[in-house]
Amino acid sequence: MYNALSYGPALLVKPDSSTVPANTRVSFFCRADGNPIPTIVWRKNGEPINDGRYSTRTLTNGLSTLRIEPVLSSDNDLIISCTADNGVGSPIKAEAKLKVLVESSLPPGFPEIEAHPVLKSVEQGRTAYVTCKVKGDPRPRVLWLRDMMPIDIRSNSRYSVSTLGNPEYREKVIGEKIVVF
């Protein structure tokens, strides 16, 4: 039963099409609003996902992540979709295309992680520094994730990101034990 404050789903974040090398990982993001908060369902080529390489995580605020790890060459041209439904109005869907490149066909300047972040555990109240060194032309943007979800440094003062060098990113984490992927 819905009341006058109920409203249908709206997608606030839609998955972006991505091009990645084979044998890496990729994450797609989808966020829906509505009252009640919509449920997000992920599909590949319009079919339910029943593959152990795919994992999802959804927060109570409607943000959902789909991760594929590892990405295989056979995933090339895959259509990933997220559908939001809360039983009010019609479900809404957004799609993204996955392009997979073999290592030998990467174009010049294709983004590359030169030094991956390393998982760290620190004492409560101490600061952890996590670095990631990337290269590419144009200069790649780095998205930091924690437990498969983007870290919003604007709304959480425990995190800060700084650029050192050209381009090396460092994350400063203040507080409890932290695991960063």
Of 87 and 160, the one with more pLDDT: 87
174 CA to centre of own chain: 22
pTM listed for this prediction: 0.81
Q: Do 7-104 and 112-175 show the same overall fold?
A: yes
Does the N-terminal peptide bond of residue 21 adopt cis geometry, omega within 30 degrees of 0? no
For 45-95, write each residue's pLDDT tens digit: 999 999 999 999 999 889 999 999 999 999 999 999 999 999 999 999 999
Integer CA distances (angstroms), 178 to 35, 47, 91, 129, 131, in order? 33, 36, 36, 10, 14
Please state whether 89 falls in left (phi above 0), alpha (psi between -120 and 50) or beta.
Answer: left
Please give the DSSP secondary-structure letter assigned to residue 15: P
Q: What angle do CA 60, 82, 85 make, to 5 degrees?
A: 60
Q: Exposed e or buried b for every residue in 9-20, given b needs 16+ CB within 10 A? A: bebebbbeebeb
The residue ranges of every structural domain in the chain are: 7-104, 112-175
Please state which of the four CATH numbers 3.40.1260.10, 3.40.228.10, 2.60.40.10, 3.40.640.10 is assigned to the domain occupying 112-175.
Answer: 2.60.40.10
Q: Classify 7-104 by CATH class.
A: mainly beta
Does the N-terminal peptide bond of residue 138 adopt cis geometry, omega within 30 degrees of 0? yes
- pLDDT of 51 reads 95
Of 158 and 178, the one with more pLDDT: 158
For 94-127, write each residue's pLDDT tens digit: 999 999 999 899 999 999 888 888 877 889 888 8
For residue 129, give both structure tokens. Answer: 């520094």
